[in-house]
Amino acid sequence: MEPPEPGTWSPLGELELRGAGGEPVDLRRCLASHGVAMLPPNQIDEQGLRLTTTLALGEGRARTVSLIGGAGRAELWLAGGPLGEDEAGRLRSGVRHMLALDQDLSAFYRLAARDPQLSWCCAGAGRMLRSASVFEDVVKTICTTNCSWSATVRMVSALVGELGAPDGLGRHAFPEAEGLAGAGEDFYRGVARAGYRGAYLRAISRAVVAGELDLEGLADPSLDDDGVRDRLLALPGVGPYAAAHIMQTSLGRCRHPVLDSWTRPTYARLCGHRATDRGILRRFRRYRDFQGLAFWLFLTRDWVEE
DNA sequence: CGTCCAGGTCTAC
DNA sequence: GGTAGACCTGGACGC
């Protein structure tokens, strides 16, 4: 393996790009699966086949890794000096988690194969890039609500750059809940310019730190969708859109389509006619537990060249 | 310069 | 339970 570029990179091994059911994984599609995937600390290269991100290792430390896609597999590289095997393993499993390689999409592909408009997905589309934690995805999703994309980038960049653990090479991980809970109102107002969202982010972070809120527990597969949705809706700043988005991206629960100010008109444009919410739900009903995923892929097919 | 709105959400009827 | 209004912010528009 060749290092990605001059500098101190060392190999962290290879990942086989296969899902839990043995289905193929299209890395380019995964890295371009949704907008939140492109926010800091993630960085995706121009060709869309390389993900560089910085992961927290606890105690204020962090390391940057780079994943470079090949055919059916990907190389993982570590930036900076050597690392103990224990922590190297944590970085590897962190990246596997982000790629959602533990998810089984083979049942979705069996359904998509019978749908001429979505059969292209069977080559490996549909895996949503996750953040390193549910907490991170919740915070980022709240930062997408009711504002322009540039505002989302500004808010998340401030959280990462000002509160995240440094890797020693100028990059930062996404901050732990302690970091967000410890930042003052002046930070949220004056630096992040998060507006009314600042109070939501502080409240959620404080509840996590206090042990009153277990966001990572939402990944428990034994919970049912409605239970997860109710717990997300109970969070300040999380409404129907945010809950559905978090479930679809971070939790692999993609039964319910995300209907919002972008998806509705985009669907109508692609269909060439007006569409009601009921009509959308009817079109994708056949996808059972994957209705939201099928809808999302229908909308984002042209995000990646085929 | 005022108004609108961007991948909404909360509160008060 | 369903529906107005307010809400931080800042970029895009019309006047």
Chain C: positions less than 7 Å from a protein CB are 7-11
Q: Is residue A119 part of a domain?
A: no
Q: Is residue A101 part of a domain?
A: yes
Does residue A130 sit within a domain? no
Domain extent at residue A100: 9-105
Which ranges in A176-290 belong to alpha helices (H)?
Answer: 177-182, 185-186, 197-209, 225-233, 240-249, 263-271, 277-284
Distance A238 CA to B9 C1' (A): 7
A118 occurs within a structural domain: no
Interatomic CA–C1' length for residue A194 and nucleotide C10, angstroms: 12
CA of A16 to C1' of B11 (A): 50
Nucleotides in chain B with any atom closer than 7 Å to protein CB: 5-10
Residue A116 covered by a domain: no
A297 phi and psi angles, rounded to 5 deg: -70, -35
Count of beta carbons in the 10 Å neighbourhood of residue A47: 9
For residue A66, the cross-strand partners are A52, A77
Chain centroid offset of residue A25 CA? 16
Give residue A235's pLDDT. 98
Å from A162 (CA) to C11 (C1')?
24
What is the pLDDT at residue A2?
Answer: 78
Count other Cβ atoms within 10 Å, centred on residue A125: 28
Asked if residues A11 and A24 have their Cβ atoms less than 8 Å apart, the reply is: no
- The footprint of strand B (CB < 7 Å) covers A 34-36, 144-149, 151, 196, 233, 235-243, 245, 258, 260-262
Whose CA is closest to A195, among A234, A136, A143?
A: A143
Q: Is residue A298 part of a domain?
A: no
Residues whose C-beta lies under 7 Å from strand C: A 146-148, 150-151, 154, 189, 193-197
Nearest-angstrom CA–CA distance, A112 and A95: 27
| Residue A226 forms part of a structural domain | no
Checking each nucleotide's C1' against the CA of A244, the nearest proves to be B7
Measured distance CA(A206)–CA(A203) in Å, rounded: 5
Kindly report whether the global pTM for this prediction surpasses the value 0.95.
Answer: yes
**How far, in Å, is the CA of A191 from the C1' of nucleotide C10?**
14
* Reduced DSSP (H G I as helix, E B as strand, rest coil) percent helix, strand, coil of chain A, to 5: 45, 15, 40
Nucleotide nearest to A145 (CA to C1'): B8
Distance, angstroms, CA A146 to C1' B5? Answer: 9
Angle at A74 between CA A8 and CA A31, to 5 degrees: 100
Is A73 among the domain residues? Answer: yes
Handedness of CA A209, A213, A214, A218 (dihedral sign): negative
Residue A87 belongs to domain with CATH number: 3.30.310.20
pLDDT at A3: 81
pLDDT, averaged per 10 consecutive residues of chain A (306 residues), comes to 83 97 98 96 96 97 96 96 96 98 98 98 98 98 96 98 97 98 96 98 98 98 96 97 96 92 89 88 96 97 93
Element (H, E) at A240: helix A240-249
Report phi then psi at A298, rounded to 5: -60, -40
Q: How far apart are CA A68 and CA A79, in angstroms?
A: 13
Q: In total, how many domains does chain A have?
A: 1
